[in-house]
Amino acid sequence: MAKHNIILTKKSNSSNGTIHLTGSKSECNRALIIQALSGGKVKVENMSDAADAVTLAGILSGLEVGSKQLVTAGVRDKSEIENPKSEINIGPAGTAMRFLTAYLPLQGNEVILTGSDRMQQRPIGILVDAMRKLGASIDYVNNEGYPPIKIYGGFQQQADRITIKGDISSQYITALLLIASSLPKGLTLEIDGELTSRPYVEMTLAMLRQAGIQHTWQDNTITIENQPFAETALLVEPDWSAASYWYAIAALSDEAELFLPGLTSYSLQGDSVITELMANFGITSVFKDGGVYLTKEPKPIFRKIFDLKECPDLAQTIIVVCAALGHDATFTGLETLKIKETDRILALQTELAKIGVKLIEKGQVYKLDCSEKQIPQRMFVNTYDDHRMAMAFAPLATLIPELEVEDADVVEKSYPAFWADLEKVGFGLNKPHLSPLLWRGLEK
């Protein structure tokens, strides 16, 4: 598929307007698995239009995604699948890969689960090992520890207690928690070491509780007994991860007054911590009228250390803002960034060098050196097939007269309306041949 770049400009360094964000990808993907496991008792409201969520919804409902008819997950009659070796290709959807690795063994069908080239470089071994211990039969198709994987039917639970490292992707843990109540013997999950991205695990448990699934969490041990789902509806909140880019735009603007409807101060999403993080850059968050108002106030930046362990998806946003403002900050909690859609550490280092900023790695500590920062008249941003690289660097257009972003379609993964929303608050966009999903709103 051809990549279509987009060029951003902004004549005024003020940002004002109302932005309606899509539903949270993180919440929606959890809700979709819960809905599937519940046999229809649980309904999902305010579906996200993020490509990852659309892909997972299509797989779970047996609908077409792109041009390929996907296997129906969860069918009760094996004869409904003509080819017992059907393949599910989830593309770059990392959450879908992790959640389906846990979900599909319980469904009784033989299937190959695969993804994009980058997905086949992202490790899955820890989760596969856990599922094998529980009783799943899973083989690797090519490389040990990485997708594609071949999942066989005939799951019979062999264990009800699993130990898993806490400093890995929280999606492994969430995948196991989501299926726990559907296991005949339930599941006790012991977390080894410090838990990374704890808010995402808390989100999972809170959504399960909304769907009638109770748990206990004592010290580092989470237990979920076998139990039925309750009939309910899970309302997906607007996406706080998407909101973070508007906080970045406000932080880099001279003046900003933005309203993001639907966001609340009591969100399940860990990325709502962006309100506290961006307060360091003079952004005030006021919750009223059913949303949050962002305003920019002149304020010196004093905070030097940012621990992003519990909100790694905000790392690129915060680091780029600090770099653009010439703030020599230190960052910790970035351990999982190297196994995301791209090696986000290397990607940040490469792109920040274009404005003369260094991101220096010292063990698990990262320091910005802005001593040679310079703002060019024009900059080209490589995105590395990573939606968050595109959106984290886009706010630089408030400072750089002409910012060209590679592969504009990449934002479909989590925030398809991103470019259209930028235009609403005064960003100028050339309009290349974008995908139909991204064109929505650009012609209005």
Q: What is the CATH number of the domain that holds 116?
A: 3.65.10.10
Residue that finishes a domain, picked among 166, 200, 235: 235
122 and 37 belong to one structural domain: yes
Residue that finishes a domain, picked among 204, 235, 266: 235
163 and 249 belong to one structural domain: no
Quickly state the pLDDT bin for 342 (edges 50, 70, 90): confident
Mean pLDDT, range 193-214, rounded to an integer: 93
3-state secondary structure the chain: CCCCCEEEECCCCEEEEECCCCECHHHHHHHHHHHHHCCCCEEEECCCCCHHHHHHHHHHHCCEECCEECCCCCCCCHHHCCCCCEEEECCCCHHHHHHHHHHHHHHCCCEEEECCCCHHHCCCHHHHHHHHHHCCCEEECCCCCCCCEEECCCCCCCCCEEEEECCCCHHHHHHHHHHHCCCCCCEEEEEECCCCCHHHHHHHHHHHHHCCCCCEEECCEEEECCCCCCCEEEECCECHHHHHHHHHHHHHCCEEEEEEECCCCCCCCHHHHHHHHHHCCCEEEEEECCEEEEEECCCCCCCCEEECCCCHHHHHHHHHHHHHCCCCCEEECCHHHHHCCCCHHHHHHHHHHHHCCEEEEECCEEEEECCCCCCCCEEEECCCCCHHHHHHHHHHHHCCCEEEECCHHHHHHCCCCHHHHHHHCCCEECCCCCCHHHHCCCCC
pLDDT tens track for 27-60 = 999 999 999 999 989 999 999 999 899 999 999 9
Residue that finishes a domain, picked among 167, 202, 235: 235
69 and 191 belong to one structural domain: yes
Active-site pick, 52, 239, 271, 313? 313
244 and 163 belong to one structural domain: no
Determine, yes or no, domain membership for 1: no
Mean pLDDT, range 93-110, rounded to an integer: 92
- pLDDT score for 3: 76
226 and 268 belong to one structural domain: no
130 and 163 belong to one structural domain: yes
Number of domains in the chain: 2
Domain of residue 393: give its range: 6-23+238-439
Quickly state the pLDDT bin for 71 (edges 50, 70, 90): very low
228 and 287 belong to one structural domain: no
pLDDT tens track for 219-237 = 999 999 999 999 999 999 9
pLDDT tens track for 367-378 = 999 999 999 999
Q: Examine the pLDDT at 191 and tell me if it is beyond 50.
A: yes
Quickly state the pLDDT bin for 2 (edges 50, 70, 90): low
31 and 18 belong to one structural domain: no
47 and 138 belong to one structural domain: yes
Q: How far is CA 95 from CA 26, 51, 75, 250, in A?
A: 8, 11, 22, 29
Instruction: Give this prediction's pTM.
Output: 0.80
Q: Examine the pLDDT at 163 and tell me if it is beyond 80.
A: yes
Phi/psi at 362 (5° precision): -130, 90
pLDDT tens track for 241-274 = 999 999 999 999 999 999 999 999 999 999 999 9
171 and 64 belong to one structural domain: yes
Determine, yes or no, domain membership for 444: no
387 and 336 belong to one structural domain: yes
- pLDDT score for 433: 53
139 and 265 belong to one structural domain: no
d(CA 281, CA 250): 9
Active-site residue 386, yes or no?
Answer: no
d(CA 200, CA 75): 29
Determine, yes or no, domain membership for 349: yes
